[in-house]
Amino acid sequence: MFKKYVDILSKISLFQDITKEDITIMLNCIKPKISQFKKNDLIAISGDEFKSVGIVISGKAVVVKENAAGNRMFMTNLNPGDMFGEMAVFSGKSVLPATVEAQDKCTVLFLPGEKIIGECKNMCSWHRPLIRNMFKIISNRALVLNKHVEYLNIKNLRGKISTFLIEQYKKSGKSTFKLPLKRNELAEFLNVSRPSLSREMCHMRDEGLIDFNRSSFHIKDIEGLKNMSE
């Protein structure tokens, strides 16, 4: 039943250092739930109890969060192999802090949290590396959330844009790169309106700081961006 999912699972960080044979054994031991979702379906809802780690097997989804005023804030995209819900599952309350929505037809595999960290009566060899990988993923996610808080603390729109572009510049190692987010997703990530974001980017282009065409960006004045990100 689970064999067709082994190839994609073997490529994600949760199953690092675990052989495909052991992944097959693991799935038969844990017995995860597999669910299908249509475009715009809510895969998981903020505030609900959540006790399984979700892994996108096919399709795309997005994680969003709503504030008290009902405004949606983009958190992250989920592509095949991406995981969600792990921080909620292993917290004391097991409550999901954000909503996961299908962007198109999705297949999601849900791994019961209690089966991941609980004792395995069969003493399976895959259990220890699975737990180690999970701890590493949760730690990395915490670092990402800290980075998101940093953006929220930057009051100036140009400072937010400059900081984000500098980080992409450092990740790519090149002055020309493609943004990982669509314009509306970037606006939600930076917690600003899309018109304001586009207008400010155009001002920065007119001033010779950057150039762009859709998602492709070119840094023309890295020192100027650094000064505005401080």
How are beta strands 216-219 and 83-84 bridged, if at all? unpaired
Give the pLDDT confidence score for residue 68 in this predicted structure: 65
Give the pLDDT confidence score for residue 107 in this predicted structure: 95
Between helix 222-229 and helix 157-172 the angle, nearest 10°, is: 130
Question: pLDDT confidence of 229, banded at 50, 70, 90?
Answer: confident
Residue 127 falls in which region: left (phi positive, over 0), alpha (psi -120 to 50) or beta: alpha
3-state secondary structure of 136: helix
In angstroms, rounded to a whole number, what is the distance separating the alpha carbons of residues 78 and 84?
A: 8
Its pTM stands at 0.66
In angstroms, rounded to a whole number, what is the distance separating the alpha carbons of residues 112 and 30?
A: 7
Q: Cα angle vertex 63, ends 117, 44, to 5°?
A: 60
Give the pLDDT confidence score for residue 122 in this predicted structure: 61
For 95, residues 6+ apart whose C-beta sits below 8 A from its C-beta are: 47, 48, 49, 50, 88
pLDDT tens-digit map of 37-65: 999 999 999 989 888 999 999 999 999 98
pLDDT tens-digit map of 114-173: 887 766 666 567 778 888 888 888 888 777 777 777 887 888 999 999 999 999 999 999
Domains in the chain: boundaries:
3-134, 154-229
Looking at the structure, give the CATH architecture of the domain made up of residues 3-134. Answer: Sandwich (2.60)
CA dihedral (18, 21, 26, 31) positive or negative: positive
CATH class given for the domain over 154-229: mainly alpha
Q: How far is CA 58 from the centre of its chain?
A: 15
